[in-house]
């Protein structure tokens, strides 16, 4: 690939060489913990950028770049990469999985951008940047035209995630596959403080599969509804019981599968302590079990 880059007079051929290098680097990150911290991820970002400058773009390379940028915590740049993947991807020729990954990545990084912005709201310039990036694909994704007309980035995130979730069904993954993406829509409801819709959405997903992130959203929405002015005692008790049910279920899960740092990125800062409190029982339960196993082994010896 380096030889191709060195000897080619055609800029496009050089671009294909840089894409080839990016593919090699991407393959080398398979199975690596925290790939965003590796030299290979930094190289992927550079190679894909250089190739684009030479006029060579493709969905796959933008997906590799987006994943690296997201792993590095660069949510804004990752969003642009995933949006670019959707822009250059031809629905007639790309795999449904690639399109789904791009839409899921764009929707999730857009949620993360909003969640960690001051007061969990993007500034005017950022909103403009978001819709400039989405403009080339607004005809491809149902709901993006309306989101652009209202300049509502959370509506855009909802549209992208719903599109990705429906693509899972088209791929034959059924309702179980769908909820793995649809659960992220719950963060849109939290950010927009649409507690009733968020609770109903989370409860529907929980009927299909208990997922840690979804149960966190369920807990938050139920607690917020219980604290609302004018709620009846009967309703308050129901909301609190749903919040407690979510907390108890989370306590029985493997805390290592929570992805709590990634989870926090999708929620406003004020919920950081809530996430810690929800994860703590599961962590303590597993640590106690491990200590008992060590103690038992020691006694046996």
CB-facing half-sphere around the CA of 271: CA atoms within 13 A: 28
Record the tokens describing residue 269, joined without a space.
């800062």
Residue 120: per-residue pLDDT: 86
Q: Please, what's the largest Cα pairwise distance for the chain? A: 76
Query: Which is more confident, 192 or 33?
Result: 192
Residue 257: per-residue pLDDT: 81
Residue with tokens 């840690």: 212
Residue 286: per-residue pLDDT: 81
Q: Mean pLDDT throughout 111-121?
A: 92
How far is residue 140's CA from residue 150's CA, in Å, rounded to a whole number?
A: 18
- Mean of the per-residue pLDDT values of the chain: 93
The pLDDT tens digits of the residues spanning 260-275 come to 999 999 999 999 999 9
Q: Mean pLDDT throughout 26-51?
A: 91
Residue 36: per-residue pLDDT: 84
Residue with tokens 């807990």: 219
CA distances from 245 to 29, 240, 248 (A): 39, 9, 5
Q: Mean pLDDT throughout 31-46?
A: 89
Question: Is pLDDT above 60 for 300?
Answer: no
Question: Is pLDDT above 90 for 3?
Answer: yes
Question: Is pLDDT above 70 for 294?
Answer: no
Question: Is pLDDT above 60 for 296?
Answer: no
Confidence of residue 195 (pLDDT cuts 50, 70, 90): very high
Instruction: Please state whether the predicted TM-score (pTM) of the whole model is above 0.85.
Output: yes
Range with the poorest average pLDDT among 33-37, 207-211, 277-281: 33-37
Question: Is pLDDT above 70 for 163?
Answer: yes
For the packed helices 153-170 and 174-182, what is the interaxial angle rounded to 10 degrees? 160
Residue 299: per-residue pLDDT: 57
| DSSP state string for the chain | -HHHHHH--SHHHHHHHHHHHHHHHHHHTTT-SSGGGSHHHHHHHHHHHHHHHTT---HHHHHHHHHHHHHTT-HHHHHHHHHHHHHH--TTTS-HHHHHHHHHHHHHHHHHHHHTSGGG---HHHHHHHHHHHGGGTTTSTTHHHHHHHT-HHHHHHHHHHHHHHHHHHTT-HHHHHHHHHTTHHHHHHHTT-HHHHHHHHHHHHHH---HHHHHHHHHHHHHHHTSTT--HHHHHHHHHHHHHHHHHHHTS-GGGS-HHHHHHTS-GGGHHHHHHHHHHHHHHHHHHHHHHHHHHHHH-
């Amino acid at each position: 690939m380096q030889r191709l880059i060195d000897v080619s007079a055609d800029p496009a051929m050089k671009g294909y060489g840089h894409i080839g290098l990016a593919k090699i680097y991407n393959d080398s990150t398979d199975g690596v913990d925290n790939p965003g911290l590796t030299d290979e991820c930094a190289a992927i970002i550079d190679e894909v950028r250089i190739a684009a400058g030479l006029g060579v773009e493709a969905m796959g390379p933008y997906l590799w770049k987006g994943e690296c940028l997201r792993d590095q915590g660069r949510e804004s740049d990752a969003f642009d990469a995933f949006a670019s993947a959707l822009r250059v991807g031809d629905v007639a020729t790309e795999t449904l999985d690639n399109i789904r990954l791009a839409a899921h990545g764009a929707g999730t990084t857009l949620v993360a951008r909003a969640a960690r912005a001051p007061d969990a709201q993007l500034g005017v310039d950022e909103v403009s940047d978001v819709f400039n990036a989405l403009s080339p694909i607004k005809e491809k994704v149902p709901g993006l035209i309306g989101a652009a007309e209202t300049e509502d980035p959370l509506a855009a995130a909802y549209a992208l995630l719903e599109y990705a979730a429906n693509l899972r069904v088209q791929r034959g993954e059924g309702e179980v596959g769908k909820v793995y993406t649809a659960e992220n829509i719950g963060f849109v409801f939290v950010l927009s403080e649409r507690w009733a819709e968020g609770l109903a959405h989370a409860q529907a997903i929980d009927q299909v599969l208990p997922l840690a992130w979804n149960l966190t959203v369920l807990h938050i929405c139920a607690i917020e509804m219980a604290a609302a002015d004018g709620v009846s005692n009967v309703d308050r008790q129901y909301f609190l019981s749903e919040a407690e049910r979510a907390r108890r279920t989370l306590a029985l899960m493997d805390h290592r599968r929570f992805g709590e740092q990634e989870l926090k990125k999708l929620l406003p800062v004020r919920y950081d302590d809530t996430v810690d409190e929800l994860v703590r029982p599961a962590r303590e339960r597993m640590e106690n079990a491990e200590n008992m196993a060590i103690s038992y082994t020691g006694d046996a010896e």
